[in-house]
Amino acid sequence: MGTQPRRKSNKPPLNPNWANLLKTLPSHGSKPSKQSDDTEESKTRILGKRKERSDSQISVNPLTPVNDDFSVTDAIAMDCEMVGVGQGNKSALGRATLVNQWGNVIYDEFVRPIERVVDFRTQISGIRPQDLRKAKDFRTVQNKVAELTKGRILVGHALRNDLKALLLSHPKKDVRDTSEYPPFLREGSSRALRHLAAEFLNVEIQNGEHCPVQDARAAMVLYQKNKKIWEKLAKDQIRLKEKQNKRRPKKKRKLGDDLNAGPAPTSL
């Protein structure tokens, strides 16, 4: 087969002088390609998302509960607020608050003290006269707190004050007190909860009236963040105490003690 002849173009040939002139002219004013625009736009969008993500992370309050689980967990944080009775310098329970390990409130009640309140200490306690008009009586709150905390890890700050106001005790081995945890001490002395929250949680609390819910949550978050080391330390202390108790020599009974004791009393 023979080759087909090339089709002749109907376009007139470009003048040689005009072609040379076009070659010497710079190509100014050329529009950027669409791909370049899309790339810049995508970069801006990505940077914007990163900025939004970082801003949202900074604004998250560590004391905000992470879920809506209101169950009674193995660890419970407690905080109480006091009012003044007697001459005003004697403290009595005015409010008791418990939160679970997630920071959700499982108990929060104002308390009507047995003695007459002479100082509500509102600037610190946040308690006002109207709060105690329909408050629970002391015994009811005491029994409920004892029920909820029994057999559980009790977390808080200076818990000895709260337990004293409640007229309750708690096994030392189950107490996790942020005012006594060695890494939180400064030169062997305890520090205020607000200082611990500011340093370790980067959050401000107790600016003015205290909120027992917020304080209990702060103590719980401090415990959760240090739980692994804290629990190991607690177990080591228990083992050490058990060893010390075993090493204590038992008092030996002297010969003749039974004879000197005389006859046993008889019941009527």
Q: Which residue has the higher pLDDT, 262 or 25?
A: 25
Say if residue 1's pLDDT is above 60: no
Position 22 pLDDT exceeds 90: no
Q: Which carries the bigger pLDDT value, residue 243 or residue 210? A: 210
pLDDT of 265 strictly over 90? no
The confidence score (pLDDT) of residue 242 equals 84
Q: Which two tokens stand for residue 99?
A: 């939160």
User: pLDDT value at position 109?
Assistant: 98
Confidence of residue 216 (pLDDT cuts 50, 70, 90): very high
Q: Where are the domains of the chain?
A: 75-243
What percent of the chain is predicted at pLDDT more than 90? 64
Contacts 24+ apart (CB under 8 A), 33-42: none
Assess whether pLDDT exceeds 70 at residue 189.
yes
Tell me which residue of 211, 214, 240, 220 sits closest to 153, measured CA to CA: 220
Query: Which pLDDT belongs to residue 243?
Result: 83
Q: How far is CA 56 from CA 38, 53, 60, in A?
A: 27, 5, 6
Q: What is the pLDDT of residue 268?
A: 41
> In the predicted model, what is the mean pLDDT of residues 55-78?
86
**Hey, what amino acid is at 183?**
P
Pair 105, 98: CB distance under 8 Å: yes
Least-confidence region, from 19-23, 60-64, 78-82: 19-23
Residues 6 or more apart whose CB falls under 8 angstroms from that of 72 comprise 100, 106, 148, 152
Cα 33 off chain centre by: 53
DSSP string, 217-239: HHHHHHHHHTHHHHHHHHHHHHH
pTM: 0.70
Q: How much is the mean pLDDT over the chain?
A: 84
Region of 56 please: left (phi>0), alpha (psi -120 to 50) or beta: alpha
Q: Alpha-carbon distance 64 to 78, whole Å?
A: 16
Cα–Cα distance for residue pair 72/76, rounded to 1 Å: 8
Write the DSSP string, 67-119: S------SEEEEEEEEEEETTTTEEEEEEEEEE-TTS-EEEEEEEE-SSPEEE
Which residues have C-beta within 8 Å of that of residue 224, sequence separation ≥ 6? 101
pLDDT score for 32: 52
Provide mean pLDDT across the span 136-150.
Answer: 98
User: Could you tell me which residue, 42 or 211, shows the higher pLDDT?
Assistant: 211
pLDDT for res 257:
58
CATH topology of domain 75-243: Nucleotidyltransferase; domain 5 (3.30.420)
Q: Is the pLDDT of residue 167 over 70?
A: yes
Q: What is the pLDDT of residue 267?
A: 46
Phi, psi of 80 (to 5 degrees): -125, 150
Contact predicate 194/203, CB 8 Å: no
The pLDDT of residue 59 is above 90: no
> For 87-137, how does the pLDDT look when each residue is reduced to its tens digit (9 = 90+)?
989 999 999 999 999 999 999 999 999 999 999 999 999 999 999 999 999
CA–CA dist 215, 207 (Å, integer): 11
Q: Which residue has the higher pLDDT, 266 or 199?
A: 199
